[in-house]
Amino acid sequence: MKKLFLFAFVSLSLFSSCSSDDSINVTEEKLAKKWYYKSYKVNGTTEAYDHLSCGKDYIELLPDGIYREFYINDCNPTVSGTSTGSWIIDGTTIAIAIEGDSYSGKITKLSATDLQIKATTDFDEDGEDEVVLLNYTSN
């Protein structure tokens, strides 16, 4: 559970400024869909996201600027939850507002099936920021 909240926190706070290739064509149309957590890379190590057997956690970027996050806490019985906020893009920068907090960051890869965001955040909660690459898939 703590791993999910950490991953969700980073996926929201993804978003502190890092340099990126501004030639990436980021549009609302490309982003507006469900993005399933795939993996993250921090300190040179890539870890797969550990979905539960009864379903996958995801974020959803809706065309009207609505941000939704869906997560499963338990499979037997199925216990799930959602959080809702808003999102906007400006070039390769994405900003999300949720539960009174705002976050922004850089999209470093975007295709029909893959989304990667580069973030600087205290991922391991040790008081020092790390550079984190978050990978999502639409499959």
pLDDT at 135 over 90: yes
Q: How many structural domains is the chain composed of?
A: 1
Q: Name the helix (H) or strand (E) containing 8.
A: helix 2-13
CATH number of the domain that residue 67 is part of: 2.40.128.280
Average pLDDT of the segment spanning 25-52: 95
Q: What's the pTM value of the predicted model, to 2 decimals?
A: 0.80
Query: What is the distance between the alpha carbons of residues 27 and 59, in angstroms, rounded to a whole number?
Result: 17
| 42: β partners | 45, 132
Predicted local distance difference test score (pLDDT) of residue 15:
44
Strands 130-137, 34-42: pairing is antiparallel
pLDDT tens, 45-84?
A: 999 999 999 999 999 999 999 999 999 999 998 999 999 9
Between the two ends of the chain, the Cα-to-Cα distance in Å is 23
Domain that residue 84 falls in: 2-137
Stated length of the chain:
139
Overall average pLDDT of the 98-102 stretch: 84
Q: If pLDDT is split at 50, 70 and 90, which confidence band does 22 have? A: low
pLDDT band for 11, please (50, 70, 90 cuts).
low
- The pLDDT value recorded for residue 9 is 47
Q: What is the pLDDT of residue 3?
A: 45
The values of phi and psi at residue 122, to 5°, are -80, 75
pLDDT of 95 strictly over 60? yes
Per residue in 54-64, pLDDT (tens digit) is: 999 999 999 99
Residue closest to 84 by CA, chosen among 106, 62, 117: 62
Closest by CA to 85, choosing from 108, 106, 59, 110, is 59
Residue 101: predicted pLDDT: 82
